[in-house]
Amino acid sequence: MTTSRDAASSGTSGTAPRLDDFVCFALYSASHAFNKIYRPLLQPLGLTYPQYLVMIVLWERDGQTVGALGDRIMLESSTLTPLLKRLEANGLVTRLRDASDERQVRIHLTDRGQALRHEAEAVPACIAERSGLDIAEAGRLTAAVSALRDALRLHGED
């Protein structure tokens, strides 16, 4: 559904909404456009986009639990576990039970997973260039979309 701000800005107040009036469609279609850009950049690294997100989070802080990773990239463990198994099969991570709490599984980068960080360094610059946004615009857009996401998540838990 469109928001009142969407309707007001598009001049459609009181008429049936058009697809282009939906913030959710703009985000959905932008996500698809991002995927088309990421795919050829990540393919030489042997990563899918969700795997790339996991690797970024581990490059930020290695040794996180599966639960912490899932919270950070907003994936359920039922989706995350097979993804982590594939990363492990590719020699990028290891999954180890936490010595102090065996219910927890910690994910650690292998040497190969650490080295992949260097190979992946060019990806963000390629995305930025193709987006046509400067650093300030990208920062504002990221903040706005993140705030929207957080508000929707908050209201989705009612």
Mean pLDDT for back-to-back runs of 10 residues, the chain (158 residues): 49 77 95 96 97 98 95 93 97 92 92 97 94 93 95 82
Q: What is the pLDDT of residue 15?
A: 84
Residue 115: C-alpha distances to residues 64, 93, 112, 121 (Å): 18, 12, 5, 11
pLDDT at position 8 is 46
* This prediction's pTM: 0.84
- Cα 51 to Cα 7, 13, 38, 48, 73, distances in angstroms: 37, 42, 12, 5, 10
